[in-house]
């Protein structure tokens, strides 16, 4: 049996094993997905172990997405551009580092009706690891103007300098009221939303957005931000789809097969319901 797993710290709450093991079963791939809890000091030996012929590869999660880069033999252009790896593929002992978060985000917004090359202004809240993947995905979709607001403004400035070519503009969190009416897409890439009452914007700020806009919250639950958008009649999508699509892309990279996306989505939703009922 082949092995695969999630490398991070912590990993115990991850939905990836449920999602990937459902995909292996559905596709009749003889493989198991494990939780590989790993301290930073153990990263070199953990990554080295992925060269074993029985290992398909791994997902990498916080806080290791950047420190694994030099341990890969090669990186895809997307991983290099984002500056982070969330998927490693073992190709006969050679380790390829990729990043499927941008793919997951792109597939999510395309599923919500956003066409490639659609003109408009996207406003991203947050400038952490997830925001990096979102910027690259929006650039791949052809968004000409990406505004970046972050609590720590210097971090937004650094990210704009690194990933932008004049198309990524840092904006002041305190002047968002001016930017919201012109935004055709709002992305919450902050850590705010996992708990009720946590909201990066106030409902009255959400109401400043145009009705034809799309609100994407990377948090994979229905957040207060998404509820506020719905009340206003603004289309919205949570982070579930991104989670499923990034996982589906990893599955395809490891196996060479099309991923059973609907089976993976159902497995994640069922597991979430079970956890909520506990």
Q: Is 155 exposed, middle or buried (0-12, 13-18, 19+ CB in 10 A)?
A: middle
> Does the annotation count 65 as an active-site position?
yes
Report CA dihedral (35, 37, 38, 44) to the nearest 10 degrees. -20
Q: Which of residues 31-60 bind ligand NDP (CB under 6 A)?
A: none
The nearer residue to ligand NDP, 76 or 246, going by C-beta atoms, is 246
Residue 87 touching ligand NDP (CB under 6 A): no
Binder of ligand NDP out of 29, 127, 228, 264 (CB under 6 A): 127
| Residue in the structure block whose two tokens are 């599955």 | 251
What residues does 33 pair with on adjacent strands? 4
What is the nearest approach in angstroms of ligand NDP to the Cβ of residue 135?
A: 11
Among the listed residues 38, 150, 236, 250, the single contact to ligand NDP using CB under 6 A: 150
* Residue 9, token pair as written in the block: 């710290």
Rg, C-alpha atoms of the chain:
19
d(CA 23, CA 249): 12
- 8 Å CB contact between 218 and 239: yes
Candidate segments 40-48, 92-100, 122-130, 158-166, binder of ligand NDP by CB under 6 A: 122-130
Residue 249 CA: distances (Å) to CA of 103, 174, 252: 8, 37, 5
Q: Which x/- pattern, by CB under 6 A, does the window 174-193 give for ligand NDP?
A: ---------------xxxx-
The answer to whether the Cα torsion of 141, 232, 220, 23 is positive or negative is: negative
d(CA 34, CA 1): 13
Q: Does 151 bind ligand NDP (CB under 6 A)?
A: yes
Considering only the stretches 19-27, 147-155, 160-168, 204-212, report the one whose residues sit in contact with ligand NDP under the rule CB under 6 A: 147-155
DSSP category for residue 174: G
Can you tell me which of 31, 75, 130, 213 binds ligand NDP, judged by CB under 6 A? 130
Q: Minimum Å distance from CB 218 to ligand NDP?
A: 4
Residue 242 binds ligand NDP, judged by CB under 6 A: yes
Instruction: Determine if 223 is a binding residue for ligand NDP (CB under 6 A).
Output: no
Active site residues: 65
Provide the binding-site residues for ligand NDP, judged by CB under 6 A: 62, 101, 104, 126-131, 150-152, 155, 189-192, 200, 218-220, 239, 242-243, 246
């Amino acid at each position: 049996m082949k092995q695969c797993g999630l490398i991070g710290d912590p990993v115990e709450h991850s939905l990836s094993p449920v999602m990937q093991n459902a995909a292996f079963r559905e596709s009749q791939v003889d493989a198991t997905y494990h939780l590989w809890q790993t301290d930073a000091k153990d990263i070199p030996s953990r990554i080295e172990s992925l060269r074993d012929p029985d290992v398909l590869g791994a997902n990498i999660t916080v806080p290791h997405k950047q420190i694994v880069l030099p341990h890969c033999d090669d990186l895809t252009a997307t991983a290099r551009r984002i500056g982070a790896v969330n998927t490693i593929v073992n190709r006969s002992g050679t380790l390829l580092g990729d990043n499927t978060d941008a793919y997951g985000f792109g597939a999510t917004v395309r599923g919500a009706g956003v066409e490639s090359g659609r003109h408009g202004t996207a406003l991203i809240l947050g400038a952490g690891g997830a925001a990096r993947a979102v910027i690259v995905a929006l650039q791949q979709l052809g968004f000409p103007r990406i505004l970046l607001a972050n609590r720590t403004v210097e971090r937004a400035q650094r990210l704009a300098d690194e990933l932008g070519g004049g198309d990524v503009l840092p904006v002041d969190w305190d002047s968002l009221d001016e930017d919201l009416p012109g935004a055709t897409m709002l992305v919450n890439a902050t850590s705010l939303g996992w708990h009720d009452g946590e909201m990066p914007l106030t409902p009255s700020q959400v109401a400043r957005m145009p009705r034809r806009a799309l609100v994407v919250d990377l948090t994979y639950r229905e957040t207060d931000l998404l509820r506020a958008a719905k009340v206003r009649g603004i289309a919205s999508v949570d982070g579930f789809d991104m989670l499923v699509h990034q996982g589906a892309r990893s599955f395809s990279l490891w196996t060479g097969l099309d991923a059973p996306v609907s089976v993976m989505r159902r497995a994640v939703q069922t597991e979430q319901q079970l956890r909520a009922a506990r």
